A and B are shown apart, each in its own frame.
Chain A
Amino acid sequence: MTTPDDRQTCYDYLLESLPGGERASFESRLPFDTALAAELKRCESDLADYAEASVRASRPPERVWRAVQAGMRGEARAPVSLAASRRAPGWSAVVWPFAALFLLGLNAWQYSRTSELLDASGEVLPASAAAALAESRRAAAEAQSEIERLNARLAALEGAAGGADPARESVALERDRLAERLENLEVNYLSLVEVAESLMNGTSLEDRDPLLAERAIELLAQRDGSRMVVSGGLWERVAMRRGDRAVAPLSAEKLPPTYSYNLWTVGNTYHVRKVLEESPQSEPYALAFVDPMSQQAIFSFGNLPELAAEEELVLWIHDEIDGGYAAIGELPRLENGAAGNVAARIPDGYEVSSDFVLSLESDGMDGKTAPGERVVLRTVSER
């Protein structure tokens, strides 16, 4: 039996307007309170009815399904764990050669910075990106043209022969193969356009840091086992704030000169956060790569404090909407305690744009208590 208050709490929960503590308390009741769970389902259905009544259903273009399908197939091949995913190619074999071509060109551009074109608006578009787009367009046009030719041949064969005809089946097979290739090319082309747009609309050249790209390549190569994953469009600065074991967050004036970027790759967006500092040898720092497609992240930490025997470093994700924290990883204890990497999975319910906190905890902490006064590093976007 639920009360009107329970119903309201269900609505607040679904509308994400329940404060963090109450949200956790509500969730803890659900597995044991079947009436409450049923009420939640009803409220969810009410809101879906409301959405359905308020919006005009609008079927998205077919390319959206193709992108979903490509993502599904990539994930089907890539196991959940980061370690395992290093062995997985992660994308369609048909698309990879094009992606590789594009990426090599883009990386070459990023380091040499010699070949640039100006588009109509005066923005910089790397020649390699333009060339890759042109190549993708050309390949797609070729495939389309070949499909049309095969369709015509197929029609002629169908008119000439009835029943099973090996020649006709062979042509149909070839046509279907090309249709699949065209589909992949279209998905690839859209990704290329996206990357090119990010480059054109992104930050100025001075903001693109070759060292960051190099580090990204290194870390992502560890993750995916191939440099082909990485392209180099860096954009969108976000500030990063460091607590350095301080009790309170630092004030704006004390913010170190830290920046972060999003690194676009073909098919995926990797959010790259990097600390730029004057004395990297002495201060704790972090690089983070967050892959929204797989909800996975790699963090690389440096210059971390020495750990006492009963201490450990724990990485948290923070949901700024409801104020909750979840422990997503621990730093492996190193002999010198000075650096480390964490491969983590973003828990369901948290967005990849969430903030992360590294804190010093008692050994064997339960992972449920939010980090308090022992924050070593904290990323805070400028949202």
Chain B
Amino acid sequence: MPPAHEPDLSDASSRLAVEAAEGSEAAMREIYDRYSGLVHGLALRMLGDEHEAEEVTQDTFLKAWRGIASFDSGRSSLRGWLCIIARSKSLDRLRRRRVRPDQDKARVVCSPAESDFSDERASARLCPERHEALQRSLALLRVEYRSSLELAYFDGYTQREIAEILGIPEGTVKSFLRRGLQQLREIFVPA
């Protein structure tokens, strides 16, 4: 099983959060350098629109800046917290669209050429090896669990909506999500 843990950045992230809460722009820049690739990639994946993804990235880090003083590293990781904010911001936009993005848009993933891994700083922060390890782990997830998770996490569909899309009972969706999340934890955490 590939090691898929977040690199040991928790202490550094906590320190950065404290410094940012004290008003350090440099610390916030460091946080941005470290996580903007993930936040932007997540927004792009959900919205399928580069312009909107940039806006969500901006909104996410501004919201983080405003709320960093209340960020509790004991209860949340900086990476997880930023993902939650970015997902929430993206979902809000998806819901406002009223019409769901088409499948192609919803599945946009930057090609390596589009992503900025040539940037030395970016590649150092975004850790492509870790990404690939996580991707290999994700491929182990059963396809029906994966589909349900994608619709719930990236598209913000309710369990009832997922049931309609996949043509299966709502209870089955609930079960898929539960098992999928359970399996996720097992495959992402080496025994």
A interface vs B, CB < 8 Å?
4, 7-8, 11, 14-17, 30, 37, 40-61, 63-65, 67-69, 71-73, 75-76, 292-293, 295, 321, 348, 351, 353, 383
Query: Interface size bucket, B side?
Result: 35 or more
With A49-B184, A55-B41, A72-B62 known to touch, is A60 a contact of B57 (CB < 8 Å)? yes
Residue contact B41 to A353, C-beta cutoff 8 Å: no
Cα-based distance from A228 to B181 in the complex (angstroms): 51
With A55-B44, A56-B131 known to touch, is A65 a contact of B181 (CB < 8 Å)? no
Residue contact B116 to A59, C-beta cutoff 8 Å: yes
Cα-based distance from A64 to B56 in the complex (angstroms): 10
Contact of A50 among B54, B96, B153 (CB under 8 A): B153
- Interface SS majority for chain A: helix
- Interface SS majority for chain B: helix
Residue contact A57 to B115, C-beta cutoff 8 Å: yes
User: Residue B42 at the A interface, CB < 8 A?
Assistant: yes
20 contacts between A and B (CB under 8 A): A4-B182, A11-B177, A41-B80, A44-B76, A45-B80, A50-B153, A54-B45, A55-B41, A55-B45, A56-B41, A56-B110, A57-B128, A58-B40, A59-B115, A60-B36, A61-B54, A71-B62, A295-B66, A348-B70, A383-B95
Cα-based distance from A58 to B38 in the complex (angstroms): 7
Number of A-B contacts (CB under 8 A): 173
Cα-based distance from A134 to B161 in the complex (angstroms): 48
List, in ascending order, chain A residues with CB within 8 A of B6's CB. Answer: 45, 48-49
Residue contact A40 to B75, C-beta cutoff 8 Å: yes
List, in ascending order, chain B residues with CB within 8 A of A348's CB. Answer: 67, 70
Residue contact A64 to B114, C-beta cutoff 8 Å: no
Cα-based distance from A292 to B63 in the complex (angstroms): 10
List, in ascending order, chain A residues with CB within 8 A of B137's CB. Answer: 53
B42 to chain A, nearest CB (A): 5
